[in-house]
Chain A
Amino acid sequence: MRNDYLTIALCKGNLLKPTLALLVAAGLPHEGVSADSRNLVFTFEDKAVKYLMCRPTDVPTYVEQGAADLGIVGKDVIVEQQKDVFELVDLGFGACRFVVAVPAALKDNRLKDLNYRRVATKFPRVAEEFFRSQGMQVQVIKLHGNIELAPIIGIADLIVDIVSTGRTLRENNLVALTTIMESTTRLISNRVSFRTKFDRIEPLVQVMQRIAKEGRDSEN
């Protein structure tokens, strides 16, 4: 990694489109950056900017380790991983929430009634901490995808997952019982880069804060 580059880790997938829009609005180079290309690193020599295309769950790791100075990634990923990174801007897009969901048949239960049950999730840490904070103990079952299937096939009684529209829950006959937390996309920074590259990062933080605020204002 050349030291004078500002390296930013970006998420492939759903977040990429709004992320690219943000880069454009923030005046950062973006020509040719896309997930379709096989390219995993995009270098803009004239602007001294480099992008790493990553899986969302890898972004906090890249940033913590200093492979990237900045990262753009969902709070859902950040909170699950608890990496040692700075969280600089709430970018507003990619909104979703962590919910506890149950099969429709259980929907009249209160959370407290579900003590000692099995919880399937991609987010074991979030799930564990939430139930513990409620004074409950559950058995957390870590799965890597299709969490909604778990209650149907009977390996879990409830699930903790992120939802944005709630459609997937409905399609699988699940009902959100309670919301654990809201999540949006964030700009994160490596602890040392924030200091050694402050002159480049700080103006970017200002710009992105402004863009995010304009986005919120136009929604209201």
Chain B
Amino acid sequence: MKNKEIPKGLRDFLPEEVKARRQMEQKALKLFRSYGYKEVRTPTLEYLDVIEAGTGRNSWEELYLFIDREGRILSLRPEMTVAIARLAATHLREAVYPQRLCYIANMFRHVQPQKAQYREFWQMGIELLGASGARADAEVISIAVEALHSLGLDNFKISLNQIEIFNSLLDDSGLPEREKKLVRQLVENKDLVELTRFLNNTKIDDGLKETIARLPVLHGGIEVLDQLGNGEKNRRAAQAGAELLKVYEDLKACGVQDHIVIDMGVLRGLDYYTGIVFEGYSSELGYGLLGGGRYDNLLNQYGFPCPATGFAIGMDRLALVLKEKEEEPVCYLVGGTDWELIVKKAQELREQGYTVEIDVQNCTREELTERVQIMDHYQLVFLDQTGDQMLGEKE
């Protein structure tokens, strides 16, 4: 039956799943709103030029590309931050900053589908535009922690880093751009074997070599900053380290430090990050749950210089680790012989806040009694000629 297939990596959501998703969305939105974040929407399609201005020209094979009738190349959006940067640079130039924006949306990437990875996936996130400095980062990160909490997750960690530490050390190495890119990839993938081998074949100073080789395993409390070795000699790296410390201190004041670890190997794949970056993990899932960071140069790509920071939560992945289900509320099934009485009764119950289904098939009391027996949370109300109610008995 070819005519029932759906494209690879996409999925249907059945009522139970949609309900769980809606609850997830509402909890997150409520939290975002309580911090002053306002929801925006952007088009599902963007021009490829717009996306490339933000993310660089390295992700073509993951994009769903089309050519529109005017001959321009369109892409299904692969992420949201770029779209929000464009939106702000277009519509919010005159606004009072900082601006706090949030979104819930579907994204599309042509990846190999597997558990926790779909070609259409959902994200919810926030962007804090127009504020630089540690406090802005701390606000965003503590909202990330609170969001996972409010969604019912306890056992999770947020890995925190300042990518300028890595970038400035790498600049010190004097390696050509192509090799820098390779080192970045090796650190990010924690390929310690290839990283050590590669560094040993370069002419980088030994101290620096050792520091770069250790970055991927510098992981723990804020004290890992002391193990930075060569980092202290490099002014930019030292500054970035100080900023990381500041953010960490500010997060303490937010009371979320128990969930924070420093991880010098977190670099985030995208080119636009400029400072503090972070990723969230739960021990119950082998994949990351959220990611974000500071991207102070991105809005300038759209002609509007403006510092910014934010994060996105992967909803499909989160759904895999959230097990608790809320109790299904009772639903009344109203049946009977007199249509007018049925409609009136149903309306009455709805006004009291109940969910009410009407029997639209003229079923007998016996038939309806049988039906509610197999549907757990249904309660039958059967009205006879005079309008007297007879509640269906449940076994």
Q: Are A195 and B190 in contact (CB under 8 A)?
A: no
Q: Point out the residues of chain B lying under 8 angstroms from A64, CB to CB.
A: 286
Using CB atoms, name the residue of chain A closest to B220.
A198
Question: Within residues 278 to 322 of chain B, which ones have a CB less than 8 A from any CB in chain A?
Answer: 281-288
Contact with B along A1-22 (1 / 0, CB 8 A): 0010000000000000000000
Give A65 to B284 CA distance when docked, in angstroms: 11
- Beta-carbon contact of A191 and B283 below 8 Å: no
What separation, in Å, do the CA atoms of A50 and B270 have in the docked complex? 36
A125 to chain B minimum Cβ distance, whole angstroms, is: 13
Bound: A86/B190 CA distance, A: 5
Interchain CA distance A194-B264 in the complex, whole Å: 13
Q: Tell whether B261 is near chain A: CB-to-CB under 8 Å.
A: yes
Q: Give residues of chain A (169-217) contacting chain B, Cβ–Cβ below 8 Å.
A: 186, 189-198, 202, 205
B286 with A87: CB separation less than 8 A: no
B217 at interface by CB-CB < 8 Å: yes
> A65 to B115, Cβ gap below 8 A?
yes
Main secondary structure, interface of B, reads mixed
Could you tell me if A3 and B286 are in contact, using CB atoms closer than 8 angstroms?
A: no
**CB closest residue in chain B, given A205:** B217
Interface size on B, residues (CB 8 A): 25
Task: Select B287's contact among A192, A194, A197, beta carbons within 8 Å.
Answer: A192
Contact call A191/B157, Cβ cutoff below 8 A: no
B217, B283, B287: which contacts A3 (Cβ < 8 A)?
A: B283
- The residue on B at minimum CB distance from A64 is B286
Nearest A residue (CB) for B217? A202
A157 CB within 8 Å of chain B? no
Give A65's nearest chain B residue, CB to CB: B286
Contact A87 B261, beta carbon cutoff 8 Å: no
Q: Which residues of B lie under 8 Å from residue A193 when comparing CB positions?
A: 283, 286
Q: Is the CB of B288 within 8 A of A192?
A: yes
Instruction: Determine the interface band of chain A, counting residues with CB < 8 A from chain B.
Output: 20 to 34
Contacts A86-B189, A198-B220, A205-B217; A192 near B283 (Cβ below 8 A): yes
Query: Is the pair A191, B288 in contact by a Cβ cutoff of 8 Å?
Result: yes
A117–chain B nearest beta-carbon distance, Å: 28
**Neighbour of B281 across the interface among A65, A87, A196, A205, CB < 8 A:** A196
Q: Would you call A87 and B283 a contact (CB within 8 A)?
A: no
- B191, A86: Cβ atoms under 8 Å? yes
Partner of A88, one of B190, B220, B281: B190
A195-B281, A196-B283, A205-B217 as given contacts; A186 in contact with B193, CB under 8 Å: yes
Known: A66-B287, A191-B288, A196-B283; 8 extra A-B contacts, CB below 8 A, are: A84-B189, A87-B194, A192-B282, A192-B285, A193-B286, A195-B157, A195-B219, A205-B192
User: A-contacting residues of B (Cβ < 8 Å)?
Assistant: 114-115, 155, 157, 159, 189-194, 216-217, 219-220, 261, 263, 281-288
| Interface pairs (17), CB distance under 8 Å | A3-B283, A65-B115, A75-B193, A84-B189, A87-B193, A90-B193, A186-B193, A191-B190, A191-B287, A191-B288, A192-B283, A195-B157, A195-B263, A196-B157, A197-B283, A198-B219, A202-B219
